[in-house]
Structure 1
Amino acid sequence: MMSVVQLCFLLSALAGFSYSIMCNYCTAYDDIPRNCTSTIDCPANYRCSATVTEHYKDFSKEIMETSVIHRCVPESYCDTFGSYSLQTERKWMGITCCDTDYCFPDQLADIKTNNELTGVTCPVCSSNTSSTCEPEGTMQCRGEEYNCIRIYTVTKYYYYESVFYNGYYYMGGSKTVQEESSIRGCATDSFCDFGSEMMLGDHSRMETIYNCTDGAEERSGFPTTLIFCCIAQILLYLFIF
């Protein structure tokens, strides 16, 4: 017979047991992808998710593009939403999850945007060829975006080269191609909390890093100007007399 101590130990082990699930893996634009044909085996502590992204141009209510991605994400990503902005555009993202094999979570139906200025400014830039980009100026943050963010992505593609010899194709050596990109702008706390994200495909691996710093509060230049004028007046007085 199992002792009370053994039973408690077994229940504790079962309570802390982490299991992996199978999720649908597909993307659709301006539509809900209910006909996913690809699946992915998610790591432990991941959940099936629906990530809705809306792309706004010039901070208007007009949506340029909507995408829905079904994939698996860490549990900490579930039920989060937020936005990040570049110089002339904003992307809003909402993530919902479910925890059974091949499930489709309910998507967030209403996306609210707030275009009020926050009084925070951040450096802005973008690059499609490098994981770093030099600031090309600053932008004013809006809505709930109080952080300056740098998002950089490294994508690696793995494949085998084919070698043609004597009229036949043979499998050659493996090859890796790496692509990098980066952006700077404003972001909500939720994007900063992501930290890093890894997406695995059949022959690819994409890692995205979210680095945030506090934005710079805009302040009036009046006090600085006043102090400068006072010092100039004192120096002029001493020089004359």
Structure 2
Amino acid sequence: MTSFLGLLSILSVLAAPGYALSCVQCASASTCSGSSVTCLSGYECGSLYTESEGAVHVVRGCTPKRECNFKGNIVLDNGKFKMATTCCNTDNCTPAPPVFVPLNSEPNGLACPSCEMANSTSCESSNTIQCTGEERRCVLWAVETTGVHAVKVAYRGCATPSVCDLGSQSITIEGTTENIKYECSGGGTSVQRGVVTPAVVCLLLLTWLL
């Protein structure tokens, strides 16, 4: 009876609205391991994978539940990025590998500004890139870091609509402050600014840019 009551107590804690998972936080190629961190309520253990030209990077950490099934692509003149997030909901669990949105070479009729600018969080150009497949939005992708690794760079290209919901965030990790933003339009002048991204997105993008 005592063991049974103990089990019920544990289950009640796990089911409580305020229960917070512990998740591994790390960033590396293919697989990674690191220290365990305590997540906020409403978060799960997530892995964000990015694939570009056959190379895969992964970042693990606390991820909002609403973003656990994120999949999206960004296509630039100098690279194509496939991104996807998977999650699990037990302490320090390892999420399953994702399924990416396939890249498609069929033009979809959208042409977006195309540029890359170092030491800036914006870039303007009369050059364009022809979007293909599900990349039906124009995106400005800007990254700025201060601290140990100081980086400022901006890109314009094509993106799937899901990328536009990633938005922007400012966080500080181990002496480095990272600011990343996505601003989208349909090829015209209107701009869509998404909601806040999880910290793991910020970490992953830095692994590609540094």
Shorter chain as normaliser: what TM range?
0.7 to 0.9
1:90 to 71, 80, 84: 80
Structure 1 residues 103 and 128 mapped into 2: Cα distance closer, same or farther (>3 Å)?
farther
Question: What amino acid is the match of 2:44?
Answer: R
C-alpha distance in structure 2 between counterparts of 1:68 and 1:54, whole Å: 9
Are residues 1:78 and 2:50 paired?
Answer: no
Are residues 1:179 and 2:178 paired?
Answer: no
Question: What amino acid is the match of 2:132?
Answer: R
Aligned to 1:44: 41
Aligned to 1:133: 123
C-alpha distance in structure 2 between counterparts of 1:209 and 1:16, whole Å: 34
For 1:90-129, list aligned pairs within 5 A. Answer: 90-109=80-99, 112-129=102-119
C-alpha distance in structure 2 between counterparts of 1:48 and 1:72, whole Å: 5
Aligned to 1:229: none
8 A contact 2:77–2:114 mirrored in 1: yes
SS at match of 2:151: strand
Listed as ranges, the gaps of 5+ residues in structure 1 are 1-14, 57-62, 159-176, 217-241
Are residues 1:206 and 2:178 paired?
Answer: yes
Q: For 1:187-230, what per-residue CA distance to the aligned partner results, in whole angstroms no more than 9, with x for missing partners?
A: 001100112245552333323211100126xxxxxxxxxxxxxx
In the TM superposition, residue 37 of structure 1 has moved relative to its aligned partner by: 2.7
C-alpha distance in structure 1 between counterparts of 2:168 and 2:97, whole Å: 23
SS at match of 1:194: coil
In the TM superposition, residue 66 of structure 1 has moved relative to its aligned partner by: 1.1
Aligned to 1:194: 166
Paired residues in the alignment total 175
C-alpha distance in structure 2 between counterparts of 1:98 and 1:128, whole Å: 37
For 1:158-173, list aligned pairs within 5 A. Answer: none
Q: For 1:95-145, what per-residue CA distance to the aligned partner results, in whole angstroms no more than 9, with x for missing partners?
A: 011122211111115662211111100001112321112225110001101
Q: For 1:72-99, what per-residue CA distance to the aligned partner results, in whole angstroms no more than 9, with x for missing partners?
A: 2222221111101111421000101112
How high is the sequence identity, in percent, across the aligned residues? 31
- Structure-2-length-normalised TM-score: 0.73
Aligned to 1:67: 57
Backbone CA RMSD of aligned residues:
2.5
Q: For 1:39-79, what per-residue CA distance to the aligned partner results, in whole angstroms no more than 9, with x for missing partners?
A: 333333322111111103xxxxxx2x211111222222211
C-alpha distance in structure 2 between counterparts of 1:105 and 1:120, whole Å: 35
C-alpha distance in structure 2 between counterparts of 1:21 and 1:199, whole Å: 20
C-alpha distance in structure 2 between counterparts of 1:127 and 1:108, whole Å: 31
C-alpha distance in structure 1 between counterparts of 2:110 and 2:44, whole Å: 35
Are residues 1:153 and 2:138 paired?
Answer: no
SS at match of 1:76: helix
1:54 to 38, 51, 54: 51
C-alpha distance in structure 2 between counterparts of 1:153 and 1:40, whole Å: 25
